[in-house]
Structure 1
């Protein structure tokens, strides 16, 4: 029996690469000496795409793969995939929700702790020998317990963050497109929420509707005690406005795991002393990535066996 052909445009977690190799004929586009020639020669054979978060899947590419039925995305965010173009061509797009919620929520709380309590700076202070030479690290001006937390995007990850925040006796509010049946205060506008909280956590995905939702006005509303944490997508925050707000102390600090032009991080952010910066490691543990890989493979298996997807987004 002929195995279905799956295109993988860029390197992915070994669990996906190995699992696909066991099940399907795999075309590793990034390894091809001539990628255009490979697409010309084999494009009509491809029936599925397995893709990570940074490989662009758009209409022109799908037009070269006329028999593709599914794009299985490794990650909960899928802003690198033109879902409208896929839908127009009858292609199902899937993501991998649920399996990474706890890991990303843990990262959000870790960023908040590192940012407010300056734990990374304190460790560097010790490593540089300054504790012994200069005495105790300076007291931090703020604490985490009891903060007023606003969550921009109360989906699965947002709810996992809210549950953790309650352990720190934080009051929790949220802004979504619509109100949910949850025990947290709903804010109909982001600006209203920013005025009322001292901690803003960004969880929403990146797309045209969410681009620069967090702008200079929102940052000013957050205020001089305000802390911004972004584990959603870099495009949601106006990076230029954020840099200026941090420089001028319009807000207190920011903890970031995502950026507008990854992997590039503006030097202005790196040079600031009131930022904590991570290289997009929100779901970056082996157990979580293996679980994400299983869901990608599950979507492909179910598609080829039953003609349906487990976690479609369109």
Structure 2
């Protein structure tokens, strides 16, 4: 019987592990490599991780047989791609696979935020019927701005159009879409009522949603972050929400996951979600199948299906 290649999971991923276990030997190192026996480390050929946990150069050095790093989603910002390239290690991701799921969930968060669905739900549960929640604005006729017009941005724009919203966007390059493009985020924020962040993390977007951007969005504006927590500076956002400089925010991602600051959690004008937008079962199954195709291609010495752009 042929020996199954060894795969190391740096993150929990039962759907992925179940899918791959038929073909590979699975090892878990969710808390790091320190408790992994040396003989096991020497056999690891593939690491499965995500954009937040990533894989460091030191961890790569501790895995002498490593040839491939697979991230379970689109993001890979915590993977040291330069170190991987220097060591001849390939890196893949699942760009676009979760776009439908994130866009659907994001639209739900926007509805919950603007129409105050969570507040009305709490009021009924507390026996107060409509309570003092007040009235809410319509989405129809409002303007949505999208920062990052990739797969997720495109999907949520089309969903928003179905709600009668007007679309504008900001992206590094112009897209073949019928919507107005803004050259910078502050200009986009000033022109819209709902600002959706759908951009990747990394140095180029670190804290790019500044106090100036939030002030441009204004006291009637709503912010929705479906990208990465690093794009926002949490104290700056919290202050803007607390002081009424923006109307509200819906956040599926945070700077220090899973820690969400108490002062942010205490605010009534936020909808909070535990980085779950892309975790639909259908998406995980598609992503697991893509991951296996990448692993099979790597082991066969053929072209990878979805390498990260830097190594394509």
Question: What TM-score results when the alignment is normalised by the length of structure 2?
Answer: 0.93
Secondary structure (helix, strand or coil) at the match of 1:212 reads: coil
Secondary structure (helix, strand or coil) at the match of 2:45 reads: strand
Displacement after TM superposition at 1:37 (Å): 5.7
Pair 247,24 (structure 1): closer, same or farther in 2 beyond 3 Å: same
Pair 83,166 (structure 1): closer, same or farther in 2 beyond 3 Å: same
Matched-pair contact (CA < 8 Å) for 2:147–2:195? yes
Structure 1 unaligned segments of length 5 or more: list them: none
Give the superposed CA RMSD.
Answer: 1.8
Distance 2:31 2:122 in 1: 40
Distance 2:82 2:153 in 1: 25
Matched-pair contact (CA < 8 Å) for 1:39–1:64? no
Distance 1:301 1:197 in 2: 46
Structure 2 unaligned segments of length 5 or more: list them: none
Displacement after TM superposition at 1:54 (Å): 3.9
Displacement after TM superposition at 1:193 (Å): 0.8
Higher relative contact order structure (alpha carbons within 8 Å, sequence separation ≥ 6): 1
Distance 2:199 2:31 in 1: 33
Displacement after TM superposition at 1:80 (Å): 2.5
Q: Quote the residue 1:51 is aligned against.
A: 49
Displacement after TM superposition at 1:4 (Å): 1.9
Q: Quote the residue 2:90 is aligned against.
A: 92
Matched-pair contact (CA < 8 Å) for 1:233–1:259? yes
1:293 aligns with 2:293: no
Distance 1:159 1:29 in 2: 36
Q: Quote the residue 2:66 is aligned against.
A: 68
Q: Quote the residue 2:24 is aligned against.
A: 24
Aligned residues: 308
Distance 1:3 1:140 in 2: 60
Distance 2:232 2:272 in 1: 14
Q: Quote the residue 2:260 is aligned against.
A: 265
